[in-house]
Amino acid sequence: MVETGIPKLDEFLGGGIPKGKSLVFYSQPGVEGEIFGLQTVHQTLKKGGICVFVVSSTIPDIVKGQFKEFGWDINLYKDKLFFVDSYNPLIGAPSNEKYVILNPDNIEDFNKTIIDIIKELPPSTIVFGSLSTIMDLCGEKETIETVRTWNKMAMLYDHVLVYNFTAWPYSEETLNLIKGDLFNSVISIGGIAERVIFGQYFGILKSDWAQITRKSMLFRVLRPGGVKIFIPKILVTGPFDAGKSTFVHALSTRAISVDRLGTTIAMDHGHVDYKGFSADIFGTPGQERFDPIIKLLSSESMGVFLVVDSTNPSDFIRAKQMLDITKSYGLPYVVVANKQDLPGALTPEEIREQFHLPDDVPIVPAVAKDKIGVYEAFEVLIDRITGGI
């Protein structure tokens, strides 16, 4: 299996792309779809594979610069990464690449070079930077028929073919073929704008080797970093002095608090980059007069951490009240049993009993000031969030 390196996508695909299969990243105009092909190249190289990148919309040196921009040093893999240059000949410039398509507007020249590569190299990942550009130069029908040939040859020689395609206003027949039977798998990449959330998403339209899932993942593109699953807002709530601010700061790569005399009077705000996920987190004050803030933030959050002081069961009534506010919006949540290092701290099961929580509600023991349990809680909540998208 060839991994794409895109968080969650390889999981959806059952581990990646099997040898001999083809996949297309089908992007709507205006979204950052090209990064998916680049990240697949980098992941293949990281795993010790051989990769071919077909450059058709810019010069290879610019593509090499894009890898550097995302923090990926391709110089480490010079003997395993090959570029096919179909752009320099188009503008009449010389090329330094091993593979060059001298007449990029002639699909036969394209076909001969790609078939030679398929036959010459051992099983590799061949990534087309822009199938749309090839189609613009060589024609829709001609390109589609040639892609069918490439896919058949790749299956015979155990290569994986990955295409980036932007859905410009091509014929309906062409777009239906690309989303239909031309490829073994189709990954849709688009943009959304709803209320305060604006972002990009990907999801599987088709995959003939993996169980189809209708889940979609929000993502953002970081430089450096590449594609990260994006969780626009996670709420951190709980009673006064439960350790919410400490939890936010322990979890975040960067965080700020607005406080007076040592207690939060407005909000904590943090940002998390962890294991391919990018999330913004907001902590609320614990006093009842700030409950309207909890209601406001809950309405646009994707998940909730309820932080409780394990040594102070007298605050559990208030904690349950705050939890009920957020639960009314149907949000996935995790209870963080903080201050587990102190004498008299109740165990997660004792807390579950006091809260009368069902067995499927996660309670994660933590010592936020020492960053113990905070990332475990994050992973649990992310699993619950992404499992319901």
CA 17: distance to chain centroid? 17
Does 267 have pLDDT greater than 60?
Answer: yes
Is the pLDDT score of 29 beyond 60? Answer: yes
pLDDT digits (tens, 9 = 90+) for 86-104: 999 999 999 999 999 999 9
State the pLDDT confidence band at 265, using cuts at 50, 70 and 90: very low
The residue with greater pLDDT, 123 or 322, is 123
For 345, which DSSP code?
P
Residue 62 in tokens: 């610019």
Domains 9-224 and 231-386 belong to one CATH topology: yes
The pLDDT of residue 123: 97
CB 226 within 8 A of CB 273: no
Average pLDDT over residues 302-327: 86
CA distance 229 to 343: 39
Out of 109-113, 252-256, 305-309, 357-361, pick the least confident: 252-256
Residue 154, C-beta contacts closer than 8 angstroms, at least 6 positions apart: 20, 22, 118, 126, 160, 161
Mean pLDDT of the chain: 89
pLDDT value at 389 more than 80: no
Instruction: Please name the amino acid found at residue 18.
Output: P
Fold designation for 231-386 = Rossmann fold (3.40.50)
- pLDDT, tens digit (0-9, with 9 covering 90-100), for 215-259: 788 898 999 999 999 888 898 988 888 999 899 999 998 756 655
- Centroid of chain to Cα 305: 22
Residue 196's pLDDT is what?
40
Q: Angle at CA 326, nearest 5°, toward 201 and 317?
A: 150
Per-residue pLDDT band for 323 (boundaries 50, 70, 90) equals confident
| Res 105 pLDDT > 70 | yes
Separation in Å, CA 245 to CA 21, 77, 147, 235, 236? 48, 44, 55, 12, 9
Return the pLDDT at 262. Answer: 47
Query: In percent, how much of the chain has pLDDT > 70?
Result: 88
pTM: 0.82
**pLDDT tens for residues 196-206?**
445 789 999 99
User: Domain spanning 9-224 has what CATH number?
Assistant: 3.40.50.300
β-strands 160-166, 277-283 pairing:
unpaired
Domain ranges in the chain are 9-224, 231-386
Q: Are 222 and 59 in contact (CB under 8 A)?
A: no
Contact between 2 and 158 under an 8 Å Cβ cutoff? The reply is no
Closest CA to 189 of 6, 3, 388, 384: 6
Is the omega angle on the peptide bond into residue 123 within 30 degrees of 0, that is, cis? no
For residue 18, is pLDDT > 60? yes
Short-list 110, 115, 368, 124, CA closest to 251: 368
Rg of the chain over all Cα atoms, to the nearest angstrom:
25
